[in-house]
Amino acid sequence: MTLAEAVAQAGARLAAAGIEDSRREARLLVCRLLGGGPELLLGSPERALTDGETGRIEAAVNRRAAREPLSRILGEREFWSLPFALNAATLDPRPDSETLVEAVLAEVAERDAALRLLDLGTGSGCLLLALLSELPAAQGCGIDLSAEAVAQAAANAQRLGLAARARFLRHSWDDGLALAPTPWDVIVSNPPYIASAEIAALAPEVAGYDPAAALDGGADGLEAYRSLIPAAAAVLAPGGLLALEIGQGQAAAVEELLVAAGLRPLRRARDLAGIERCLLAVAAAGG
């Protein structure tokens, strides 16, 4: 079989499985499995594939047809133009979450400041590491309940050359942040915020493959914020910034929790679809 034939066949399989962007995904999946990008198909469409290659392609196409996301099959997702390896314990980073990175950077007056950053429920480490990549003198800590996620985030930091400024701990925010007590200048989090009953109705790529612990926000979707916000408020430096990703329609309710914890809501940031996706709040300046 030639490369062009393999891509055409994969595209037909994915279309039959109801994958919307089947041709583009097929091209990307096959070319990436062969170690290149979509340019492989343009450059050598007649390249003959080995049996080993067609076997690997077939196995991957079967996984995608079962609605496993491309990023999980390839083991990697690009976020903030950086590569992040994923595992079963990490949420697949979304472009929506780049809204938070952008919103935080817009508030940082001095990019070279020695800021201390904390990421609650870090998963792949994408939020913290994207910020560290833009803030050369900053140091950061990411915590996650999952040891597997912590290991993945640490490996991502290593690969991105950020390990000297990032540490990752297995830790919960439920009873405060005893393991990460430093006053932090910036705290970020993309906590689970989907109402439990709504998870089953999400796309099969999300419901079936993102870890439940990274999605499930309890009965009303706000459970994580109720423990996270007071814990963060207690370790935020005077004048420090808290940036939270939120689900659609949650802004007002989460702002109430921010105010109740003594923080001052600063602004809401919208994602590319125009949905309020991130809330910024500041701690009182102290003194």
Indicate whether 206 belongs to the interface with ligand GLN (CB under 6 A): yes
Closer of 218 and 262 to ligand GLN (Cβ): 218
* Strands, sheet with 116-120, edge to edge from the N-terminal-most edge strand: 166-170, 139-144, 116-120, 184-189, 236-245, 276-282, 264-270
Closer of 83 and 95 to ligand GLN (Cβ): 95
Indicate whether 190 belongs to the interface with ligand GLN (CB under 6 A): yes
Closer of 115 and 278 to ligand GLN (Cβ): 278
Tokens of 2: 């030639």
Q: In the range 215-254, which residues lie near ligand GLN by CB under 6 A?
A: 215, 245
The site for ligand GLN, by CB under 6 A, has a size of 12
In the complex, minimum distance from the CB of residue 217 to ligand GLN, in angstroms, rounded to a whole number: 6
User: Residue 143's closest CA among 165, 113, 117, 163?
Assistant: 117
Indicate whether 94 belongs to the interface with ligand GLN (CB under 6 A): yes
SS3 of 60-73:
HHHHHHCCCCHHHH
What residues does 86 pair with on adjacent strands? none
Count of C-beta atoms within a 10 Å radius of residue 145? 15
Residue 243, Ramachandran bin (φ over 0: left; ψ between -120 and 50: alpha; else beta): beta
Tokens of 128: 């913290």
Stretch that binds ligand GLN, among 6-14, 152-160, 175-183, 184-192 (CB under 6 A): 184-192
In the complex, minimum distance from the CB of residue 279 to ligand GLN, in angstroms, rounded to a whole number: 13
Stretch that binds ligand GLN, among 41-49, 91-99, 140-148, 159-167 (CB under 6 A): 91-99
CA 71 vs CA 93, 110, 180: distances in Å: 9, 34, 31
Q: Which residue is nearest to ligand GLN (CB)?
A: 193
Closer of 33 and 215 to ligand GLN (Cβ): 215
Give the binding site for ligand GLN (CB under 6 A).
91, 94, 96, 190-194, 202, 206, 215, 245
